[in-house]
Amino acid sequence: MTLKETVRFVGELMALSAKTAPKAVGQDFIDARVLSEPERIALGKDMLLVGEERGIQGFERDGQNVIDSDAVLLVGLMPHKGAGLDCGACGFSGCAEFNEKASSGDFRGPNCFLRALDLGIALGSAASTASLHNVDNRIMYRVGVSALRLGMSKANVVHGIPLSATGKNIFFDRPRK
């Protein structure tokens, strides 16, 4: 097995970690998958394009990281109804009002606060698995913007975790942009 294949295998283990992470009221709205090589390259190129279109250098920096990485894991929060707890954390009076609303932008919403916590826990579980296997990684919301633009996910909100195994962490000492 090559080093790149090993990193992709760790990505698959990370997807497993994301899928088995604890979920609010025991309901699963998390989607996780490792991109193919052509998808990874297309994603990085689109991030560079978004950076040019919006004048945001962070997209360009992160897009180059995606191109230079060995693999990318997408972890997303699929469309969902409120958790049924009427907690109001989403900003609506209850789940019934939440369920009637829709928004658009880089990500789709609204999203139930508890379901968003599920996404955070899934991302943390996946990153922890990468760390356990000494694979360099970084959680990036900008990956999700391009993943949705390219139709790589049907999630409301998606983040990406590029993975790399080199002598120097490519996600460290990056210029702030």
CATH number of the structural domain spanning residue 83: 3.40.109.10
CA triple 76-82-87, angle to 5 deg: 120
pLDDT band at 88 (very low <50, low <70, confident <90, very high): very high
Q: What is the DSSP letter of 148?
A: H
Q: Does a structural domain hold residue 57?
A: yes
pLDDT band at 174 (very low <50, low <70, confident <90, very high): low
pLDDT(177) > 90: no
- State residue 104's pLDDT score: 78
Tokens of 166: 């080199």
Q: Does a structural domain hold residue 177?
A: no
Q: Does a structural domain hold residue 24?
A: yes
Q: Does a structural domain hold residue 169?
A: no
- State residue 14's pLDDT score: 98
- State residue 103's pLDDT score: 84
Number of domains, the chain: 1
Residues 104-155: pLDDT tens digits?
789 999 999 999 999 999 999 999 999 999 999 999 999 999 999 999 999 9
For 146, the domain range is 3-164
Q: How many Å separate Cα 114 from the centre of its chain?
A: 17
Q: Which ranges of 71-162 does DSSP label H, i.e. alpha helix? A: 95-100, 113-132, 141-149
